Amino acid sequence: MDTTALVERVESALRVNRVFGEPVTVDGVTVIPVSHVGGGAGGGEGREVRADGETAPARPSGEGSGGGLGWTGHPCGVVVLRDGEARWLPALDVNRLVSAVAVVLVAGALAVRAFARPRS
């Protein structure tokens, strides 16, 4: 992929409207959804370095290259605008909550197991 095209794709993926959703107004109350967006990109090219310090193609018949782009997002909450005041309402991420509880339970079970062993 062309570097310019890759940069354009990164820019379009990380625009501010990916973090703040379209405002919705009903009965004088405006709600703006907010998300956490993160991403990354990488690339490379294959070359083989010989013992004499010279470089050679990774394959005799061609050159290697590669690249990638990825991003993720999850809801954080909403901004509620009512009567000239703004209020933040966080979103409850059930998957994250269940994962955190599971980690605490496993860590607690391991700690109890370690202390419950008879010492010899």
> What are the beta bridge partners of residue 48?
56
Instruction: Give the pTM.
Output: 0.49
Instruction: Note the pLDDT of residue 56.
Output: 56
Token pair recorded at residue 20: 């703040």
Distance from the first to the final alpha carbon of the chain:
63
* One-letter identity of residue 119: R
Residue 22 is assigned to a structural domain of this protein: yes
Confidence band (pLDDT; 50, 70, 90) for 100? very high
Question: Looking at the domain assignment, is residue 85 inside a domain?
Answer: yes
Phi, psi at 6, each rounded to 5°: -65, -45
pLDDT confidence band for 26 (50 / 70 / 90)? very high
In one letter, which amino acid is 118? P
Count of the separate structural domains present in the chain: 1
Confirm whether 103 is domain-assigned: no
DSSP states of the chain: --HHHHHHHHHHHT-GGGTB---EEETTEEEEEEEEEEEEEEEEEEEEE-TTS-EEESBTTB-EEEEEEEEEEEEEEEEEEETTEEEEEE---HHHHHHHHHHHHHHHHHHHHHHHSPP-
Question: What tens digit of pLDDT does each residue of 71-95 get?
Answer: 777 788 999 999 999 999 998 878 8
Range of the domain at 59: 3-91
